[in-house]
């Protein structure tokens, strides 16, 4: 090959591989010194990161949150105070059970993760579009999800597994109701599901529940349309969100909270640390906080959305967790997943990095360190060489006290678990066509199930209401 004076790389263009031609003039041997060929193939084999073990398929976008109502009576969190305060956000809306290539219009919960880049650090809302969760003890989370995924032998989703595991009647009633398949991601609600706290530096705090309401209203898809779209257009929801934002038709949501004083917890009609219950709206009305608008598509999906890492443990001063054990476990699980999926320095990536200065010299080194690594600063605590002052802000609300012995906990279903589902069934029956939709949504899945599992599932729905049990028995004959 003639020397090429302009050539700075071993080979001149990205389509060339170096070869030693055979004496026939065709074919040849590629060479180990062909860095470009080797880099190209080696990088391709490494261009995936593990997909999320749940919530793998998603749409994502950038946006802005604006405070519409002041909240300084509840919290010092700056992103929630001062009408007109604006905060940049990153949002990822997902299905739960399906893999990265699964269809969008399946009956499933939608995950609703938002990262607020506040001046006090990142605040993440890692929410769902249904207001309650299936389980109240966290150790069941992997089992619950596996029962929604592929059978270990056949490698296909399996109604028997679904109904064999299943509990969480309240969430099931929601899932098989109309909200199980949204018309678009612009039409879904979002719920914190757990109780959180909002508090102030003086130690005062309130328990709260977060609610996003879509300004375009909640809209859902009829099951038959959803089934058709799942085959014809598996990325229907992702395209819809992307195209809406691209056209300047920005979707928006209003953020509301329900508020409860810690002094009223013992009088509350439900266990507020149990994510299978909603707080009655008549007793704990919604109070408006602000508005989120999604107004920019990612420039690059992998960098902005696939590598995004959200966690309920990312909270700014003035926002705190509660004694909900599922929430406590989640606060461990998400950073753990991110360290595995994206790498231990995932927080240094531009889409995960807080916009405020962070000084955490005890967390350093590791693969892909790109933040300067704190130079020569001491990497151990309490150094005389660099004095550090700390905030005394407590994330855990002060009046909460904990004592007692460590004891095993595993819950049993009680009559109380059927009260809110019963009320929901009455609402479903009151909606136009609601009862028939519900039966049509759940019937095929139950019909596919072995008789003993079906009977057990119907017995569970009979505890909600005798008429529901009978209707399901007839529908699955
Ligand atoms: C014990 C209960 C739970 C555990 C252990 C758990 C764990 C996980 C894990 C490991 C991921 C994947 C994270 C990643 O790879 O980056 C995930 C994703 C997600 N979970 Fe959970 N989860 C639980 C309950 C919930 C609940 C109750 C909600 C909603 C209120 C929720 C909402 C989400 C969302 C929205 C995502 C997707 C986050 C994203 O877009 O990156 N999860 N969860």
Beta bridge partners of 63: 89, 294
Give the pLDDT confidence score for residue 396 in this predicted structure: 59
Would you place residue 392 in the very low, low, confident or very high pLDDT band (cuts 50, 70, 90)?
Answer: confident
Give the pLDDT confidence score for residue 6 in this predicted structure: 54
- If you average pLDDT over residues 161-182, what whole number do you get? 94
211 annotated active-site: no
**Ligand 1 geometric centre to CA of 334 (Å):** 7
Residue nearest ligand 1's atom 19 by CA:
55
**Ligand 1 geometric centre to CA of 53 (Å):** 9
Catalytic residue from among 122, 128, 187, 256: 128
What pTM was estimated for this model as a whole? Answer: 0.95
Task: Indicate if ligand 1 lies below 6 Å from the C-beta of 309.
Answer: yes
pLDDT at 213 over 60: yes
Task: Indicate if ligand 1 lies below 6 Å from the C-beta of 223.
Answer: no
pLDDT at 39 over 70: yes
pLDDT at 10 over 80: no
pLDDT at 9 over 90: no
**Ligand 1 geometric centre to CA of 317 (Å):** 22
71 annotated active-site: no
Task: Indicate if ligand 1 lies below 6 Å from the C-beta of 334.
Answer: yes
Over residues 426-454, the pLDDT tens digits come to 999 999 999 999 999 999 999 999 999 99
Residue nearest ligand 1's atom 35 by CA:
111
Percentage, residues of the chain above pLDDT 70: 96
Selected residue with higher pLDDT from 118 and 25 = 118
Percentage, residues of the chain above pLDDT 90: 89
Task: Indicate if ligand 1 lies below 6 Å from the C-beta of 111.
Answer: yes
In the chain, which residues fall in CATH 2.40.180.10? 58-129+182-348
Residue nearest ligand 1's atom 6 by CA:
330
Task: Indicate if ligand 1 lies below 6 Å from the C-beta of 148.
Answer: no
**Ligand 1 geometric centre to CA of 235 (Å):** 21
Would you place residue 8 in the very low, low, confident or very high pLDDT band (cuts 50, 70, 90)?
Answer: low
Number of the ligand 1 atom closest to the C-alpha atom of 326: 1
Task: Indicate if ligand 1 lies below 6 Å from the C-beta of 133.
Answer: yes
Task: Indicate if ligand 1 lies below 6 Å from the C-beta of 53.
Answer: yes
pLDDT at 349 over 90: yes
pLDDT at 4 over 60: no
Q: Which of 334, 338, 351 to mutate to test the pocket of ligand 1 (most atoms within 8 A of CB)?
A: 334
Task: Indicate if ligand 1 lies below 6 Å from the C-beta of 195.
Answer: no
Residue nearest ligand 1's atom 3 by CA:
330
Mean pLDDT of the chain: 94
**Ligand 1 geometric centre to CA of 237 (Å):** 20
**Ligand 1 geometric centre to CA of 194 (Å):** 13
pLDDT at 397 over 60: no
pLDDT at 316 over 90: yes
Dihedral angle at the C-alpha atoms of 374, 378, 379, 382, nearest 10 degrees? -130
Over residues 122-169, the pLDDT tens digits come to 999 999 999 999 999 999 999 999 999 999 999 999 999 999 998 899
236 is in an annotated binding site: no
pLDDT at 194 over 80: yes
Give the pLDDT confidence score for residue 1 in this predicted structure: 44
Would you place residue 398 in the very low, low, confident or very high pLDDT band (cuts 50, 70, 90)?
Answer: low
CATH topology of domain 58-129+182-348: Catalase HpII,  Chain A, domain 1 (2.40.180)
pLDDT at 186 over 90: yes
Could you tell me which of 58, 69, 71, 68 has the C-alpha nearest to residue 316?
71
């Amino acid at each position: 090959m003639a020397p090429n004076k302009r050539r700075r790389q071993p080979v001149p263009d990205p389509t060339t591989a170096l070869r030693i031609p055979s004496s026939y003039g065709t074919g040849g041997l590629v060479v180990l010194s062909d860095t470009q060929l080797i880099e190209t193939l080696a990088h391709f084999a490494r261009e995936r990161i593990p997909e999320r073990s749940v919530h793998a398929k998603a749409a994502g976008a950038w946006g802005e949150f604006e405070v519409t109502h002041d909240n300084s009576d509840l919290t010092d969190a700056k992103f929630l105070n001062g009408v007109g305060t604006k905060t940049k956000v990153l949002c990822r809306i997902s299905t739960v059970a399906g893999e990265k290539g699964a269809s969008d219009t399946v009956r499933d919960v939608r995950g609703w993760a938002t990262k607020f880049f506040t001046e006090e650090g990142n605040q993440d809302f890692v929410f769902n579009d249904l207001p309650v969760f299936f389980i109240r003890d966290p150790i069941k989370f992997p089992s619950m999800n596996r029962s929604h995924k592929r059978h270990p032998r056949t490698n296909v989703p399996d109604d028997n597994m679904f109904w064999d595991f299943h509990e969480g009647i309240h969430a099931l009633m929601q899932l098989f109701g109309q909200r199980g398949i949204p018309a678009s991601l612009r039409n879904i609600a979002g719920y914190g599901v757990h109780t959180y706290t909002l508090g102030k530096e003086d130690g005062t705090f309130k328990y709260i529940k977060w609610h996003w309401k879509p300004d375009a209203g909640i809209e859902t898809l009829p099951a038959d349309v959803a089934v058709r779209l799942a085959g014809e257009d598996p990325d229907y929801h992702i395209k819809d969100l992307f195209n809406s934002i691209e056209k300047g038709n920005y979707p928006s949501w209003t953020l509301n909270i329900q508020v409860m004083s810690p002094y009223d917890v013992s009088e509350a009609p439900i266990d507020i640390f149990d994510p299978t219950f909603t707080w009655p709206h008549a007793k704990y009305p919604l109070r408006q906080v602000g508005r989120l608008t999604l107004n920019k598509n990612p420039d690059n999906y992998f960098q902005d959305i696939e590598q995004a890492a959200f966690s309920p443990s990312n909270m700014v001063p003035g926002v705190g967790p509660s004694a909900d054990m599922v929430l406590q476990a989640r606060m461990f699980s998400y950073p753990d997943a991110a360290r595995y999926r994206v790498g231990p320095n995932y927080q240094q990536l531009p889409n995960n990095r807080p916009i405020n200065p962070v000084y955490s010299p005890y967390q350093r080194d590791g693969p892909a360190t790109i933040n300067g690594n704190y130079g020569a600063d001491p990497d151990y605590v309490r150094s005389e060489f660099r004095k550090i002052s700390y905030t005394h802000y407590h994330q855990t609300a002060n009046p909460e006290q904990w004592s007692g012995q460590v004891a095993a906990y595993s819950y049993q279903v009680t009559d109380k678990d059927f009260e809110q589902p019963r009320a929901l069934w009455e609402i479903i029956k009151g909606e136009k066509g609601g009862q028939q939709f519900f039966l049509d949504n759940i019937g095929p899945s139950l019909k596919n199930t072995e008789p003993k599992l079906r009977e057990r599932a119907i017995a569970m729905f009979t505890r909600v209401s005798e008429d529901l049990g009978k209707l399901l028995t007839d529908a699955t004959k």
